[in-house]
Amino acid sequence: MTTQLDAGARVFVAGHRGLAGSAIARALADAGYEVLTRTRAELDLRDGAATADFLRAARPDAVVLAAATVGGIMANARNPVPFLEDNLRIQLGVISGAHAADVNRLLFLGSSCIYPKHAPQPIPEEALLTGPLEPTNEPYALAKIAGITQVRSYRRQFGRSYISAMPTNLYGPGDNFDPETSHVLPALIRRFHEARRDGRDEVVLWGSGTPRREFLHSADLAAACVLLLREYDDEPPVNVGCGEDLTIAELADTIAGAVGFTGRIGWDPSRPDGAPRKLLDVTRLRKLGFAPRVPLARGIRETYEWWVHATRS
């Protein structure tokens, strides 16, 4: 198969300090590509004019759009406006700016939350826009759907080799552990760590514990993204996951074991569960030869060890 990203190409990774972007930047560098980055202080990607100026000056061979305003259920519920508007501004500026700078290769990272709340399981890419979204993250999901549409539109109108990938729930070293904005896996690591540290005998978690979720290590996502940049050039988005899921209660038990918390785990069903299940159909990605390498239990232990070390440094 003809590669869509030449050896030694210069790739701008937007969002290189985030969980996904940092892993992708490392994987690209390890694969021999020249990685271009800018911090938010150097370039606010919500500023479309500044973003276009940078891309025209830098003239990368490809762009990976991993920058986004992200967060868990609580953050989405409390701050829907930035989850919608920040992401729309980032996407509009980076994608249109890449086109204006004649960058012909771009990978846009969406999210599994783009799919309907009651999508068939596992969720095929064709489920997009076939039903209502999960209300707790609708603004973020709509922004990401707009990004997919923008990528598809540049392919159709201008023949650009722009593609979209839809990652499942990600975790790994470099994750966000802030109690107000973190996603479920790092949030649980912190909750159990603090409970063990403080000698508490019970941790009460949101919801019922019954929803099923899929989790992918950031290193596996990065490997998939490099593969897609090299070998995929088509209009449909590509799901990126491991193809396996577990209940939130099972996840909590796994994390408690990794952290060393031996107390009771309780549940508060008055709090939202989110979608009942989110497992991606990864047939399209597997046909390209991708298989994840980091088992969940090992990945959780490594992520916990990284966070403990980072908080002590």
**HSE on the CB side for 288, CA within 13 Å?**
22
Residue 169 labeled ligand binder: yes
What is the DSSP pairing of strand 169-171 with strand 215-217? parallel
> Distances in Å between the alpha carbon of 120 and those of 130, 131, 285?
10, 10, 18
Tell me, yes or no, if 171 is annotated catalytic: no
Go through the chain and tell me how many residues it has.
Answer: 313
Residue 277 labeled ligand binder: no
Residue 109 labeled ligand binder: yes
Residue 207 labeled ligand binder: no
Residue 112 labeled ligand binder: yes
Residue 312 labeled ligand binder: no
Residue 20 labeled ligand binder: yes
Distance CA 106, CA 109 (A): 10
Q: How is residue 211 written in tokens?
A: 């929803």
Rg (CA), the chain: 19
Contact 272, 206 (CB under 8 A): yes
Contact 288, 231 (CB under 8 A): yes
Residue 143 labeled ligand binder: no
Residue 111 labeled ligand binder: yes
Among candidate residues 140, 154, 171, 232, the one labeled active-site is 140
The H or E element that residue 263 is part of is none
The per-residue DSSP string of 6-39 comes to: -TT-EEEEETTTSHHHHHHHHHHHHTTPEEE---
Q: How is residue 55 written in tokens?
A: 């891309």
Residue 102 labeled ligand binder: no
Residue 273 labeled ligand binder: yes
Contact 62, 105 (CB under 8 A): yes
Distance CA 67, CA 82 (A): 13
Collapsed DSSP state (helix, strand, coil) of residue 204: strand
Residue 309 labeled ligand binder: no
Residue 281 labeled ligand binder: no
Binding residue ranges: 15-21, 109-112, 144, 167-170, 183, 191, 206, 213, 273
Binding residue ranges for substrate: 191, 206, 213, 273
For the annotated catalytic residues, the residue numbers are: 140
Binding residue ranges for NADP(+): 15-21, 109-112, 144, 167-170, 183
